[in-house]
Every structure is written in structure tokens, then in C-alpha cells.
Structure 1
């Protein structure tokens, strides 16, 4: 199986309201380059009347490992079992896909407790440059309940460069608690679990979601969806 590596070249300012990040995805056989625009946050904010999914498949998203809330990135774009299980699958809206992260295991089949702790992603939503997150909604993956994430942190930031997104000082904690996946009885596979609501009134440009514990002994953590919900 070819190795997979994702590299973000950086974000360069185009004007006072936007920046462009270039991402190169290499599979060991070929490389694909894509560019996305990061819009700087604004000071004005008018929430909609309806809670919506802040994240979607078109967003810039970077997988993380060896990273905890309030700390700088310990590692990014780690080991994934297949191309189809990379970070974008956590926010693509499909229960038939999943995001799988081996953390700092370095390889599959290294079974240990909480192997997926301190893994996750940061994401730059394209739907709005000033969204207010008030809930998360997880969905279980298709197999291996011991890989289910049980607790999670969510942070927000208004920094405007990819480099700053890797700094722990950039992030403000919004939520720390359950994912909604039952910790004692494994729920059905490829199913949404109860939405977890929390209090927040601050608008953020980007978000960082990190798993802090999982159900049991496994070589990785996995989930079909990790939606961030709120007002835009």
C-alpha cells in the first residue's frame, strides 16, 4: 500500500480579507496539489435562527496526533490505513465513510489503551468566517467498537495563518466532555449518537477537535462523523 502524506505549504496574504493555503497530498505514486482561500475573520456577526453544520467536505482540514487542548501541534497528518479514511471523511456527511487515526502508534495492530487519545483535526470552515459553535454531533464507524471516541475537546481561534493554527497559544477551549457515544454499551455501527450541546457565544474562524479518550484497547480511534454545529 503506498504511503500517504499531506503537506500544507502555507498561507500567504492576498489582501486584507483573505489568504490562500496550498495543500499537497502525496500517495507515494502521485501528488495532487490544491489551493483553498482562507477568509480573515470579521468583527460583525449576525446569527441565523437555525443551528447548522459549520463544517463540510470542502473545508481545509488537517489531521493531528500527539496534541492536547491548549498545546501546540505535536504531530500532523499521521498514519491512516487507507486513502479513504483520512480527516476529510470526518466532516463529509456520509455514514458510510470514516476517519481513522493511529495516533503515535506509527503502525496498525499495536494494541494499547487510548491509542487514539490526543488525535483529531483542526478545520477552517468555508461556510462563514465568524461562526458560533454550540454543539457537536458524532457518528460511530462501521466496526470495532473499542475504537469509538468517548470524550473530546473543542477549541476555537481567530488566527488567520496555517502556521498560527499549529500554536497552542492560538486556541481557546469551548467544550470538554462526552462525544455522545455511550461509554459502557456500544451503540449500533454507522449511526449518529445524541448531539452534545454546550454554552458558547464567541464567534470563531477555525476549530480544533481532539479526542481525549476511547472505549477500550485498540490500535487506533475512528468515527464516521464529527460535526461541529452552530450559528453562521
Structure 2
């Protein structure tokens, strides 16, 4: 059986039913089911239904389901349904659905921290923000938040109550949804997929509106452009965790943020629930990923943006270090912070910090650098350090990493702490050698980042803190 609008041919007889008021059709098949709109050919009979007022279809299948857009051939019956005014469809299946994204547009990453739940919200209007809560209208379940939609796990879900606030009913979860901002520059959304809510299939959304905007203030934004009004791709009820069908959006306009609002659901339920959201499209810096994970790529540093720091602490102002052969607040001549991004582990950045000379406990501490990324809306998610070519005692061991969107970094005090842990060099004694990759626990999008050294390998016997490379990764 096909859920598409395919044509069907048969070597057997064809039966046409005239218009009727109400029809109940029970179809039992063991054939392969496809969600494509391709042509299906059958060796059995073909049945065509003319326009009806109301049709109820009950289908039980035990075959294999594919999300492919290719043509499917079945040895069982094929049915074409046309122009149904009102249709109630109950489909039960034990099939497995493919999660492959082969042939789809590239994946668009959602900026962490930008996905926000809404309720009592309609296409074209401003947003009413939902909140976490155990009960009540305008809430979503406490541990089933919108952030679960981008955690790359079908086993978690977003569950929103909407207007009724409690109990099983036909309105719970309708006109709820979320908005989010895409990490790539000038993104153009071309399609999406939703993860289902198995085993709570009664809560699954069936239809949705999708809008785009370039508003900076999304909470109060009313400039939403309607891009899509149709199926979520979850019209087939699955007996396992799976993605629904890919839904195409015919859109050529770039919007930096998008809003999804649920307009109908499968059945009476206490919530509307779904497991994941995947966005697909293109941009001026499209992700190379074509699966449910964000793609980490090397972040390019904006030319001239790297500055040496000393006497600087997390959350405070930056103090610029200078190049000199001696003295506090200096880095060694020819060993400035630009060496960290020259792709050479034979050069290095060597900073004295508050020490003017000699080996001591404070030399090189609270030094570091800040830098601006050469792309819009960058999100740092991972980094790694490399040791210098000499002096293991000078290796930085503990660091902080912060992000900011300040335009002027020197006087900026709006730094958000992202990381406070090891540099990845704690177990690396070899010279000119990369340490382990370190991940930012909760990545956020910032234009600029600051790295500060808070401890070194030898707490008492080094004249500098020194390291050769820093690699930044993100999206």
C-alpha cells in the first residue's frame, strides 16, 4: 500500500465505487509499504475510490517501510484514494523506518540556547512563551523541554500541554511549538523531519505551520512569513522510535530564525509530543553533516583579531600584553599569540604575566588571548592545545574559556564562562605535540572567545607559560 498519490496498474480487474456518504475500508496486507509518491505496480486487483464525504480507513501491515522516494512494486493490492473531504485514518504497523538522510539537502544546525517553547501562538502572530511545569496551561513537562528536540536522541521528547493544562482532550498541545535560530549564515530552509513520540503515539503532531523571520527580538516579533502549512511527516504510526517522512518546503528566501506550530495531532491526549527536529537547506556556510548530528569544522580566526592578555580573570576586563624581552605584562619577542594559529608546532606563544623575571609560581598565570571568529553566528564546541617545543614545566594545565558578542573586546566585561577545566595537555610530556580534544559542555554562539591560563605544569619552576598551537572547532 502506498500513502502517496501514485497511479496503479493491474493485470486483474478494476473496480470503481461511485460517490458515497460514508465508507469503511479494511485492508490487510503483507506487502512492502512506501511513503513515496512514485508509481506502484501490482499483480493483483486495483481499487479506485471516487470523491467521498467521509472515509475511515483501517490498515494493518507487517511489512518493511522505507522513507525512500524511489518507486515501489508490490505483489499485493494497490489502492488509490482521491479527493476525500474528511478522513479519519488509523494505521497500525510493526514496520521499521529508515533514518537515512541520503539525497536530502545539507543539515542546518540550530544554535544552542535559541530554541524556545511557545503556546497559544498562531501563524502570523507574536509568541506566547511556554514554561516548564508539572501542570497547568502554557507549560511543557518539566524534563521534556524544547532543548530535547536538538539533543540528537530519539529517546527524549518535547511535550507541551497548551491551553487545557491537564487531562486527556482534543485540544491539549495544539497551537504549541517552538522557535529557534540557525547557526549558519543566511540559512534557507528547504525541508525538515520530526522524530516520533513512541510509545506515546497518540500525542504525535500530524500537521504544522512553519514560518521564517529575521527579527532580532523573537519574543515580540510579528514579522513571520508563512513558508509551510501541512503534514509533519508523522502520519504513519510506528511501533518503534523513528523519524517521520522528510517534508519539503518550497522556499528560496533566507531567514535566520524559524517557528514551528502544531495545528493537529493524532488522537485525544494530554500533551503533544515529538522527539527531534532536523532542519535541511543551504546557506553561505552550509554544514557538511547529513545526519542528526551537528558538524564540527575548523573555525577560522578573523585576521588581526588575536590579542595577548595578562593579569586577566574570568568575567573581568581584558588587559593587553606587549612584546618585550623582559618585564611584567609582556610576551617574549617573536613568540606572540598569532603563533598559536600558524599551523606550526615549532613556533609558540610565551607569556610572562605578572612576573618580571626568573622562575616563580606566578609566571605566566592569568595570561592568554582573545580572538574573533571569521564567520557569523559561530559556536565553539571543541578545541585542543599543543605543547611548546621546549620546557614541559611551562605547559598550561588548567584554563578558562569564555564567549562574548562585545564589539570592543578590550573594555568588555560581558563574558560568559563556557569552560573551566584542563587544557588537554596534563598527560602530554612530548614537545610540539597536540593534547586531547576538549569539549565545551554547553556550547553557545558568540562572535569572540577568550582563553585564560589558570595553572601550569610546574607551579614553582618556570619563567613563562608557553604553548605552540590552539585549534578551535565548531559550527
TM-score (norm 2): 0.35
Compared with structure 1, are the counterparts of its residues 176 and 231 closer, same or farther at alpha carbon in structure 2 (3 Å cutoff)? same
Structure of greater relative contact order (alpha carbons < 8 Å, 6+ residues apart): 1
5+ residue gaps, structure 1, are 1-48
Tell whether 2:267 aligns with 1:207.
Answer: no
State which of 171, 176, 179 in structure 2 corresponds to 1:122: 179
C-alpha separation in 2, matches of 1:223 and 1:57: 19
Other-structure match for 1:226: 277
The Cα of 1:113 is off from its aligned counterpart by 0.5
Tell whether 2:242 aligns with 1:194.
Answer: no
Tell whether 2:238 aligns with 1:178.
Answer: no
The Cα of 1:168 is off from its aligned counterpart by 5.4
The Cα of 1:142 is off from its aligned counterpart by 2.8
Count of matched residue positions in the alignment of Structure 1 and Structure 2: 175
C-alpha separation in 1, matches of 2:122 and 2:220: 11
- 4+ runs deviating over 4 angstroms: none
The Cα of 1:59 is off from its aligned counterpart by 4.5
Other-structure match for 1:152: 208
3-state SS of the aligned residue for 2:139? Answer: coil
State which of 109, 134, 140 in structure 2 corresponds to 1:80: 140
The Cα of 1:206 is off from its aligned counterpart by 0.4
TM-score (norm 1): 0.70
Compared with structure 1, are the counterparts of its residues 50 and 112 closer, same or farther at alpha carbon in structure 2 (3 Å cutoff)? closer
Tell whether 2:158 aligns with 1:104.
Answer: no
The Cα of 1:138 is off from its aligned counterpart by 0.9
The Cα of 1:50 is off from its aligned counterpart by 7.2
Tell whether 2:189 aligns with 1:136.
Answer: no
C-alpha separation in 2, matches of 1:208 and 1:94: 21
Compared with structure 1, are the counterparts of its residues 168 and 160 closer, same or farther at alpha carbon in structure 2 (3 Å cutoff)? closer
Cα root mean square deviation, aligned = 1.9
Tell whether 2:268 aligns with 1:217.
Answer: yes
State which of 124, 131, 134 in structure 2 corresponds to 1:70: 124
**Contact 2:211–2:225 (Cα < 8 Å) also in 1:** yes
The Cα of 1:57 is off from its aligned counterpart by 6.7
Question: Rg larger in 1 or in 2?
Answer: 2
C-alpha separation in 1, matches of 2:113 and 2:107: 12
